[in-house]
């Protein structure tokens, strides 16, 4: 399919949960939208065997229930799985969602977005071009990998990020260290150990925050769904607030930051904890220096002593910086109001560049921590669609 010279109303860059949700809600609002990108590409790079931390409701794309829900997917395909949702089944669900709800998606990658007299010009990976009146950036977090300073000089064969591996069995028989105390680091540790590696985890904090085996919603019985938001983000006393980004964003900045940190602080699910019996967890241990030592690495610890390993894996998460999206033209970035790498967004998740919207994790500074999760796609999709459809009506009335 060629889009050369075609003027689209909205181009959605990214075909993960937030991009698919935006496209669905735009279509429902009567807005023409074209999705670009490889469906569920980032999720397909995650380690085999992982499970989603979010509960069943919060693992739905675009809305908590309905014709494109997990339940509808299971009913239609006969898939058999429960909660926690296995990664492989979530990826299959996302692809089914795309086929059913966003059938016209284009799998080509967008290489560059620049300003155009009437909006934006997109250069695609095969040299084709297209123009769009608006652009919704739903490109995920893959470019935002966070690495501690000083480690980039070491070869990836010795020091890597957890996001760089799909098969933890490839480390069988090797001594592997992991830095980090959150879900990704500890679940990778469990998968590595199960795959035959000898694993040591280095956690700077004195303890791990373990999430309860039963969610607050289940423990509260009939009151659970009333008191605890289906988005499954934050503790009980904050969940309804962070599930309402239009209210959350009106709080004082310091209050927003405090609630956001409490809602997304490093923590790990109980279903991972029970798989860590044979994994060495070094609490309150900080790695201060890493150097190559023969065919492996040598770690220096703040508390004293050294450790020699065959490989070091970084479970150090992601740090949002939209300047690291390779497709955003430098001139476009120069027009973008940003705070610490996040775009400053207003109603409809629109940036300071008119017609340029950001959904997913980059929207978290403006609209709260739920934007970082699959369940954030419910608000993002609806909000973007309402704003764009409303702008169209307003423009037509002039």
Please tell me the least confidently modeled range out of 42-56, 129-143, 203-217, 299-313. 203-217
In a domain, 234, yes or no: no
- 305 and 278 co-located in one domain: yes
pLDDT of 116: 86
What burial class does residue 299 get, using C-beta atoms within 10 Å of its C-beta: 0-12 exposed, 13-18 middle, 19+ buried? buried
Flag whether 222 is in a domain: no
345 pLDDT tier (thresholds 50, 70, 90): very high
* Residue matched to tokens 């059913």: 100
Report the half-sphere exposure of 108 (CA within 13 A, side-chain side).
18
Q: What are the counts of helices (DSSP H) followed by strands (DSSP E) for the chain?
A: 13, 16
Q: Quote the domain boundaries for residue 392.
A: 7-144+320-397
Residue 257 domain flag = no
Name the pTM for this structure: 0.93
User: In this predicted model, what pLDDT tens digit does every residue of 2-37 receive, in sequence order?
Assistant: 444 568 999 999 999 999 999 999 999 999 999 999
* pLDDT for residue 215 is more than 70: no
Same domain, 349 and 387: yes
11 and 129 both lie in a single domain: yes
The mean of the pLDDT values for the chain is: 93
Domain at 293, CATH number: 3.50.50.60
Among 13-17, 103-107, 117-121, the minimum mean pLDDT is found in 117-121
Residues 164 and 183 in one domain: yes
For the beta carbon of residue 254, count every other beta carbon within 10 angstroms. 8
User: How many separate domains does the chain show?
Assistant: 2
Determine, yes or no, domain membership for 228.
no
In terms of domains, do 327 and 393 share one? yes
Of 181, 177, 179, residue with least CA distance to 208: 181
Q: Which residues contact 17 (CB under 8 A, 6 or more apart)?
A: 61, 62, 94, 374, 377
By the 8 A CB rule, do 131 and 347 touch?
A: no
Q: What gap in Å lies between CA 210 and CA 231, rounded to an integer?
A: 19
pLDDT digits (tens, 9 = 90+) for 166-210: 999 999 999 999 999 999 999 999 999 999 999 999 999 999 998
Omega prior to 84 cis, within 30 of 0:
yes
CA atoms within 13 A on the CB side of 146: 12
Task: Give residue 398's pLDDT band: very low, low, confident or very high (50, 70, 90).
Answer: very low
144 has pLDDT over 80: yes
> Which pLDDT band holds residue 397 (cuts at 50, 70, 90)?
very low
In a domain, 233, yes or no: no
pLDDT at residue number 2: 44
Sheet of 287-293, strands arranged across: 287-293, 296-301, 306-309
pLDDT of 377 strictly over 50: yes
Identify whether 232 is part of a domain: no
Residue 62 vs residue 235, higher pLDDT: 62
Q: Which of 188, 230, 164 is nearest to 374 (CA)?
A: 230
Exposed / middle / buried, residue 386 (Cβ in 10 Å: 0-12, 13-18, 19+): middle
> By percentage, how much of the chain surpasses pLDDT 90?
85
- pLDDT: which is higher, 102 or 3: 102
One domain, residues 109 and 176? no
Residue at 247 is within a domain: no
* Rounded Cα gap, residues 293 and 289, in angstroms: 12
Q: Is residue 254 part of a domain?
A: no
Contacts (Cβ under 8 Å, ≥6 apart) of 14: 35, 36, 37, 137, 138, 139, 140, 360
Asked if 49 and 65 sit in the same domain, the reply is yes
Residues 41 and 113 in one domain: yes
| Same domain, residue pair 81 and 103 | yes
Structure tokens at 201: 């985890």
- 309 and 324 together in one domain: no
> In angstroms, rounded to a whole number, what is the distance separating the alpha carbons of residues 257 and 369?
9
The alpha helices in the chain, defined as continuous H runs, are 17-28, 70-77, 87-101, 183-194, 216-219, 224-227, 236-242, 245-248, 253-264, 270-273, 330-334, 364-367, 376-397
């Amino acid at each position: 399919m060629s889009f050369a010279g075609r003027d689209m109303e909205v181009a959605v860059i990214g075909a993960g949960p937030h991009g698919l949700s935006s496209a669905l809600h735009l279509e429902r609002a009567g807005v023409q939208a074209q999705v670009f990108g490889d469906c569920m590409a980032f999720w397909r790079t995650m380690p085999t065997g992982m499970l989603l931390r979010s509960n069943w409701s919060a693992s739905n794309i675009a809305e908590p229930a309905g014709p494109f829900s997990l339940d509808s997917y299971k009913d239609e395909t006969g898939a058999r799985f429960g909660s926690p949702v296995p990664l492989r089944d979530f990826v299959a669900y996302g692809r089914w969602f795309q086929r059913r709800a966003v059938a016209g998606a284009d799998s080509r990658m967008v290489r560059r977005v620049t300003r155009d007299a009437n909006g934006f010009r997109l250069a695609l990976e095969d040299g084709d071009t297209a123009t769009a009146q608006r652009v919704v950036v739903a490109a995920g977090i893959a470019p935002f990998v966070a690495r501690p300073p000083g480690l980039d000089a070491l070869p990836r064969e010795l020091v890597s990020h957890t996001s760089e591996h799909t098969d933890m069995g490839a480390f069988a028989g090797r001594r592997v260290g992991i830095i980090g105390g959150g879900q990704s680091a500890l679940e990778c540790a469990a998968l590595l150990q199960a795959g035959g590696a000898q694993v040591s985890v280095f956690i700077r904090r004195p303890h791990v925050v373990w999430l309860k085996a039963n969610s607050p919603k289940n423990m509260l019985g009939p009151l659970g769904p009333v008191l605890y938001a289906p988005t499954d983000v934050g503790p009980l006393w904050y969940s309804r607030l962070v599930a309402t980004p239009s209210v959350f964003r009106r709080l004082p900045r310091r209050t927003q930051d405090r609630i956001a940190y409490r809602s997304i602080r490093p923590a790990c699910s109980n279903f991972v904890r029970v798989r860590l019996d044979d994994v060495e967890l070094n609490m309150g241990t900080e790695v201060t220096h890493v150097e190559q030592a023969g065919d492996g690495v040598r770690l220096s610890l703040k508390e004293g002593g050294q450790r020699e390993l065959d490989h070091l894996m970084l479970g150090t998460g992601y740090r949002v910086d939209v300047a690291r999206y390779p497709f955003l033209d430098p001139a476009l970035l120069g027009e973008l109001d940003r705070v610490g790498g996040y775009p400053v967004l207003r109603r409809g998740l629109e940036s300071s560049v008119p017609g340029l919207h950001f959904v997913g994790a980059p929207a978290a500074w403006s609209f709260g921590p739920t934007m970082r999760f699959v369940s954030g796609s419910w608000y993002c999709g609806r909000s973007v669609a309402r704003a764009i459809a409303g702008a169209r009506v307003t423009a037509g009335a002039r």
